[in-house]
Amino acid sequence: MFKKFKKSAAALICFLLAISAVMPAYAKGNAKQISDYRCWAQDDPRWANVELGNSGLTIEDAGCAVVSFTKLLIQAGIKDDSFTPDQLVSWMKKNDQFCTTKGKRAQIASWKGMASISSELSFVNTKSKPSAADLMNAVSKGYYIILNVTLKNGGTHFVVVANDASSKAGKPVIWNSVKGVSASKDLWESYNLNKDPYNAFKAVKTAIMYQTASSEPVQETPEAQEPTAAMELKNDILPSGILAKGSAFTVSGIVASDMNIEYLALVVMNEDGETMFMSDARAVDKTFSLYNLDSELTFSKLPEGSYTWMLMADNGLLCDCWDGSFTVKSSDIKTSGITCPSGTLTKGKTFSCKGTVSSSNKIQKVTMSVYSVDGVKQFEASAEPGTKSYDLHKLDAQMTFRKLGAGKYIYRVTVVDANGVASNVVTKSFSVK
């Protein structure tokens, strides 16, 4: 399993390094060899220390998907139980089946690509949030299934469906890869998020299905293609360079996905890896505005130092990450007499921006801008005064508020002092109706 983000540096590292993988829920060093392949665990000494690709992580650290796929191959008759997870890892390395993206190198590159291990195996589809009936229908057709399940602690984990045991029980039964599990276990008993059996179906995020020559033929439909589940960060305004100590910063931009985003988090850490603050959201849509995270991001309270931000998004099939760095330094920039948009402006009406920014040293640059909360720049005006103070009203003619359509916006004033320190001296959100 890997655990969802918690407010600690350790959880942050686990999230980034173990995307679509398994972090052990038990202490190392207490493992033993198990002959029954159905009970094989990640910490088996025969393969516990085998590295997953070039990730620096081992099967014991993050190998639930690898162990589960090995069991699937044996169950389907593609391999016998002399084929072990370490052998699968060797094949994956030779055939480029580990993800090459930084921070995801323990992850399987493609579930469809994994089927190339044998001409007798073919990928069927990846079904998001299947019900128990969906799974039993797939078992009845002879499909072989790996599940990405949600744990009670909010993390995720890969297990394999035991076809014969499920058929006999009349409900999904799984084989696990963690220490000390029995050969067959009721899926909902293992991964029920609550006591309501109906809602327990949320325990399964995705089902990855395969078939052999003996499986019932699958009808070729769009669903039979492996979803890309692609995600993209667009129009992002996130901290970079130098921020003035005490100045506010408002994040904006859009994360867009081919599937509904289930979880999204933005975390800021200091150079020691300590989490300073974070903001997250669950059960969102296919697009998410980062502005919705802003209220819990207290950039103005950061002391001087170096920082890293990390943004994570999970749509149930793919976890994606973006990161950046910035430095907080002191600045003597001051403001006075500020008049800026706030509340609700009337569409088509003008607005006049006023105020003065000053410094004990010459000001390099002053920028006034307006962005939509989705991070799209509406207009901007700037000057390079080379003086110790500047009247913001000199830029007012270029700030075309009357052209704004109905919606939500962010007004910013940024000042760069003689030392190159950028101060976000004014950040204000407003609406136009």
Q: How far apart are CA 144 and CA 74, in angstroms?
A: 11
DSSP collapsed to 3 states, 204-255 = EEEEEEEEECCCCCCCCCHHHCCCCCCEEEEEEECCCEEEECCCCCCCEEEE
Token couple for 316:
């149930």
Q: How far apart are CA 334 and CA 358, in angstroms?
A: 5
Token couple for 208:
């990855």
Q: Where are the domains of the chain?
A: 9-224, 228-330, 332-433
The one-digit pLDDT tens for each residue of the chain (433 residues) are 332 333 333 333 333 333 333 332 323 344 446 678 988 988 899 999 999 988 888 998 888 899 999 999 999 999 999 999 999 999 999 998 887 766 567 778 788 889 999 999 998 888 877 888 888 999 999 999 998 876 655 556 888 999 998 898 888 888 888 765 555 666 656 554 443 333 333 467 778 888 887 665 544 444 444 445 577 888 888 988 888 888 888 898 999 988 888 778 898 988 887 889 989 887 678 899 999 998 899 999 999 999 989 887 877 666 677 888 899 988 888 899 999 999 999 999 999 999 999 998 899 999 999 999 888 999 999 999 999 999 999 999 999 999 999 999 999 998 988 887 777 788 888 999 9
9-224 and 332-433: identical CATH topology? no
CATH level 3 topology of 228-330? Immunoglobulin-like (2.60.40)
Question: What is the assigned CATH class of domain 332-433?
Answer: mainly beta
Q: How far apart are CA 321 and CA 265, in angstroms?
A: 10
**For the structural domain made of 9-224, what CATH number should be given?**
3.90.70
Q: Bridge-partner residues for 390, per DSSP?
A: 357
Give the per-residue pLDDT at 341: 94
Is the pTM higher than 0.85? The answer reads no
Give the per-residue pLDDT at 395: 95
Q: How far apart are CA 247 and CA 359, in angstroms?
A: 15
Give the per-residue pLDDT at 223: 42
Q: Exposed, middle or buried, 183 (CB in 10 Å: 0-12/13-18/19+)?
A: middle
CB 84 within 8 A of CB 72: no
CB 238 within 8 A of CB 255: no
DSSP string, 398-427: G--GGGPPSEEEEEEEEEE-TT--EEEEEE
Q: Which of 62, 69, 59 has its CA nearest to residue 19?
A: 62
DSSP string, 97-154: -B--STT-TTSBS-HHHHGGG-TTEEEEEEEES--HHHHHHHHHTT-EEEEEEE-TTS
Give the per-residue pLDDT at 202: 43
CB 324 within 8 A of CB 308: yes
Give the per-residue pLDDT at 225: 44
Q: How far apart are CA 357 and CA 336, in angstroms?
A: 7
Element (H, E) at 31: none
